């Protein structure tokens, strides 16, 4: 861990405020102890890495008093939990040292002082962002990775554009789960393309079903009947129907976990919004939760159904609950009042004070082949096609693992059909982690946007037109086939997972396996070309640092960005070493024909190995300089 996370650990010099201990159970322990009761919170987190902030727990992760003996500072969600009076008694009896509690209190007060929540202390100066939307737009472009481009990008004023894909209209802008936030506005890829090509005929086709089951109601399509503003009204009632609690929310997915909502004493929940569908046709509307719900549309009962949990996994029932829905004919632009009266089936144990419910819609039965055929026809009639593919919250979110790396639904079939209909097809990939792209060799261009945030569509507009160049480089390796993944079997053997790959993880595992991926670590193209003309080094100086000086020329016709990366290797090492590991990188920007110099610092610590402490193996090391872990045309030898 120390070797692999060496660069990341430098961030502790920036005083991070509050990491969270993981929510694993005893059967998922780390060397016999859960994360909240683990000595790793003391060493290396505090002792070696110098952390002085507050360790909070993942929600309900603290299950015993044992965690109070370690550097677990705060139990979440509060104020309930296993500490309370039991902790007071444990301190009085001497089972837990009072000094351990004092330490936790001091750290919480220090964090409060740092953020300005403690009287008499000024907060740490916040990052000043004059225009948050512009910053989000720039970040989305800089984080996007150009995987392939046969010259189609940037586009030059197309007259007919076929935009295709569920994620083109309903893009994933963030990872979901408890990390979800609600931006003021979200620009979809479809909206961005229409805005940047106002004179073009821009069509839209769904192409393939991506979100299996209910999807949240669009925020722009909802108005709160109580306030007239965006969102929904939520009320919680007791058994007599009297109001206990009400609030206004912006999303139709509701999660309550502790806090002010009287989950433990409520009997039912009422959800109400005025919903204006964007499309006409037969859809299904309903709820996803565990319990019984009545769905009313314009005061008429549409359906009453009971949804029950499948299996005994409470976490799955909470994070990905079963759904119940009924068909309804919507008319685009016609507003309807949606009211859901829901009686939950309360969970026990850690989730007894929690509730998760989502009200949403899903397409009615649709012919998958027909959807693909319609999209292919639209592509054939267009000058250029843009297909947006991606994951959904059922396969990529918190609380569960992915079972494979394929795109959900029939998106691969969709892309193949569109490529056959129009070779001038650009594919945008809207996923947070690697997916398989079996058609990648046939696409005119592929841009990986990840979860690009609220300005996703604006960033797409900038990338397609060349207003900005996609500036990202891959932080992970993307496989060509699932069976090529070096560490594939992660199933426990008699309840134990052995991390026998040791330091050979991530791109290091790919190098060791000798398997060619689809796209290697550090990979990314731009809208120009570069020549790395020279690389030299001074060797290590007395301060333990060596300077690598590189010279690169922009050999293309456009301004551009280049990320130069330096990897190290140790020939004939007497210890187990990665074949190559990243020790530094820098970013260059240059005009066409411009030659530019840059310097990258490599420290002796970057070449050290861990064996109950950092050690340096004397001798020659090779520095590999290039544009990704597999493309390093310049090599240097440095002596340690």
pLDDT tens digits, 88-116: 999 999 999 999 999 999 999 999 998 88
Q: Tokens standing for 335? A: 């507003």
Mean pLDDT over 68-82 rounds to 87
On the question of pLDDT at 631 being above 80, the answer is yes
Q: Return all residues near 453 (Cβ < 8 A) that are at least 6 apart.
A: 136, 139, 140, 173, 174, 183
Query: Per residue in 451-468, pLDDT tens?
Result: 999 999 999 999 999 999
Higher pLDDT, 441 or 219: 441
Q: Which of 632, 633, 614, 639 is nearest to 2 (CA)?
A: 614
Q: Which percentage of the chain shows pLDDT scores above 70?
A: 94
517-529 pLDDT, tens digit per residue, is 999 999 999 999 9
- What pLDDT, on the 0 to 100 scale, is given for residue 9? 63
Q: Indicate if the pLDDT at residue 368 is higher than 70.
A: yes
pLDDT by residue (tens digit) across 567-595? 999 999 999 999 999 999 999 999 999 99
> DSSP string of 344-395?
E----GGGTTEEEEEEEEEE-S--HHHHHHHHHHHHHTSSEEEEEEE--TTT
Q: Among 25-34, 416-425, 540-549, 615-624, which stretch is predicted with the lowest mean pLDDT?
A: 25-34
pLDDT, residue 498, reads 81
pLDDT confidence of 484, banded at 50, 70, 90?
A: very high
pLDDT over 90, % of the chain: 69
Is 406 a residue whose pLDDT tops 70?
Answer: yes
Question: Tokens 């993981």 — which residue?
Answer: 22
pLDDT of residue 177: 72
Mean pLDDT of 416-428: 99
Q: pLDDT class for 1, splitting at 50, 70, 90?
A: low
Per-residue model confidence (pLDDT) at position 536: 97
Return the domain boundaries, the chain: 6-114, 149-209+367-457, 223-363, 526-639
| Range of weakest confidence among 277-291, 463-477, 624-638 | 277-291
> For the residues 163-183, what does the mean pLDDT come to?
86
Per-residue pLDDT band for 23 (boundaries 50, 70, 90) equals confident
Taking the C-alpha atoms of residue 596 and residue 534, their distance in angstroms, rounded to an integer, is 11
Q: Has residue 398 got a pLDDT over 70?
A: yes
Q: Which residue has the tokens 């950092």?
A: 614
- 8 A C-beta contact, residue 605 and residue 6: yes
pLDDT, tens only, 237-255:
999 999 999 999 999 999 8
Summarised one tens digit per residue, pLDDT across range 429-444 is 999 999 999 999 999 9
Overall average pLDDT of the 200-212 stretch: 92
| Residue 51: C-alpha distances to residues 15, 20, 40, 183, 611 (Å) | 7, 13, 12, 32, 21
The candidate with the shortest Cα–Cα distance to 163, out of 172, 171, 154, is: 171
* pLDDT beyond 70 at 191: yes
- What's the confidence (pLDDT) of residue 365? 75
Q: What is the predicted pLDDT for the residue at 129?
A: 67
Q: Give the CATH fold of the 223-363 domain.
A: Jelly Rolls (2.60.120)
pLDDT score for 316? 61
Q: What would the two tokens of residue 211 be? A: 């979100």
pLDDT band at 353 (very low <50, low <70, confident <90, very high): confident
Asked if residue 469 lies in contact with residue 526, where contact means CB atoms within 8 angstroms, the answer is yes
pLDDT of residue 573: 95
Which structure tokens are listed for 54?
């507050």
At 106 the pLDDT is 96
Q: CATH for 526-639? A: 2.60.40.10
Q: Residues 454, 136: contact at Cβ < 8 Å?
A: yes
- Whether the pLDDT of residue 203 is over 60: the answer is yes
- Which helix (H) or strand (E) is 547 found in, with range? strand 545-554
CA 462, 463, 464, 466: dihedral to nearest 10 degrees? Answer: 80
Give backbone dihedrals phi and psi of 628, rounded to 5 degrees, phi first. -165, 175
Q: Which pTM does this prediction carry?
A: 0.91
- Whether the per-residue pLDDT at 314 is higher than 70: the answer is no
Which residues, including other chains, have CB under 8 Å from residue 97's CB and lie 6 or more apart? 69, 91
Q: Would you say residue 313 has pLDDT above 90?
A: no
Tell me how far the alpha carbon of residue 355 is from its chain's centroid.
24
Q: Which residue(s) pair with 550 in the sheet? A: 535, 598
Report the distance separating Cα 414 and Cα 621, nearest Å: 48
CATH class of 149-209+367-457: alpha beta
Mean pLDDT of 196-220: 91
pLDDT tens, 323-347?
A: 899 999 999 999 999 999 999 987 6
- What is the pLDDT of the chain when averaged over all its residues? 91
């Amino acid at each position: 861990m120390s070797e692999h996370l060496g660069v990341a650990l430098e961030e502790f010099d920036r005083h991070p405020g509050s990491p969270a201990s993981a929510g694993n159970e005893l059967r998922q322990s780390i060397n016999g102890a859960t994360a909240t009761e683990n000595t790793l919170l003391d060493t290396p987190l505090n002792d070696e890495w110098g952390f002085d902030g507050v360790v909070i727990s993942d929600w309900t992760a603290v299950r015993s008093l044992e965690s109070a003996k370690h550097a677990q500072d705060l139990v979440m969600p509060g104020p309930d939990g296993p500490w309370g009076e039991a902790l007071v008694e444990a301190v009085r009896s001497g089972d837990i040292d009072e000094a351990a509690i004092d330490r936790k209190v001091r750290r919480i007060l220090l964090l409060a002082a740092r953020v300005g929540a403690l009287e008499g202390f000024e907060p740490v100066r916040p990052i000043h962002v004059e225009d948050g939307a512009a910053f989000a737009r720039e970040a989305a472009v800089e984080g996007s990775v150009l995987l392939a481009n046969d010259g189609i990008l940037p586009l030059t004023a197309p007259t007919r554009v076929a935009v295709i894909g569920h994620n083109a209209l309903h893009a994933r802008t963030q990872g979901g789960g408890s990390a979800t936030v609600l931006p003021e506005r979200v620009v979809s890829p479809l909206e961005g393309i229409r805005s940047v090509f106002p004179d073009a005929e821009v069509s839209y086709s769904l192409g393939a079903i991506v979100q299996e089951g209910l999807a949240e109601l669009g925020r722009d399509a909802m108005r709160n009947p109580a306030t007239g503003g965006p969102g929904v009204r939520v009320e919680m009632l007791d058994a007599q129907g009297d109001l206990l609690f009400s609030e206004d929310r912006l999303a139709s997915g509701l999660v309550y976990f502790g806090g002010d909502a009287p989950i433990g004493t409520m009997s039912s929940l009422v959800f109400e919004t005025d919903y204006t569908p964007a499309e006409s046709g037969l859809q299904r509307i309903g709820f996803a939760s565990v319990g019984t719900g009545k769905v009313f549309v314009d005061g008429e009962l549409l359906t009453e159904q009971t949804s029950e949990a499948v299996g005994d996994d409470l976490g799955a029932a909470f994070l990905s609950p079963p759904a119940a829905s009924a068909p309804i004919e919507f008319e685009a632009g016609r507003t309807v009042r949606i009211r859901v009266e829901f009686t939950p089936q309360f969970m026990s144990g850690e989730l007894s004070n929690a509730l998760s419910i989502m009200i949403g819609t899903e397409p009615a039965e649709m012919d998958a082949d027909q959807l693909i055929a319609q999209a292919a026809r639209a592509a054939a009639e267009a000058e250029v096609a843009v297909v947006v593919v991606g994951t959904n919250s059922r396969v990529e979110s918190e609380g569960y693992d992915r079972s494979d790396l394929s795109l959900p639904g029939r998106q691969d079939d969709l892309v193949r059909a569109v490529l056959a209909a129009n070779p001038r097809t650009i594919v945008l990939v809207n996923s947070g982690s690697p997916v398989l792209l079996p058609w990648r060799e046939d696409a005119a261009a592929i841009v990986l946007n990840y979860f690009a945030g609220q300005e996703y569509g604006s960033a797409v507009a900038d990338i397609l037109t060349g207003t900005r160049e996609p500036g990202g480089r891959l932080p992970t390796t993307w496989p060509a086939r699932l069976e090529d993944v070096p560490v594939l079997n992660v199933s426990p053997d008699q309840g134990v997972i052995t991390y026998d790959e040791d330091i050979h993880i991530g791109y290091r595992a790919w190098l060791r396996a000798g398997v060619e991926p689809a796209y290697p670590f550090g990979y990314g193209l731009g809208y120009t070309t570069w020549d790395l003309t020279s690389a030299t080094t001074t060797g290590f100086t007395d301060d333990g640092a060596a300077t690598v000086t590189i010279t690169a020329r922009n050999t293309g016709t456009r301004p551009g960005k280049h990320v130069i990366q330096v990897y190290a290797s140790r020939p004939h090492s007497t210890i187990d070493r990665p074949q190559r590991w990243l020790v530094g990188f820098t970013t260059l920007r240059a005009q066409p024909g411009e030659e530019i110099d840059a310097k990258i610092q490599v420290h002796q610590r970057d070449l050290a190995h861990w064996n109950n402490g950092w050690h340096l193996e004397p001798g020659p090391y090779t520095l590999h300089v290039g544009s990704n872990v597999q493309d390093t045309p310049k090599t240097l030898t440095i002596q340690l």
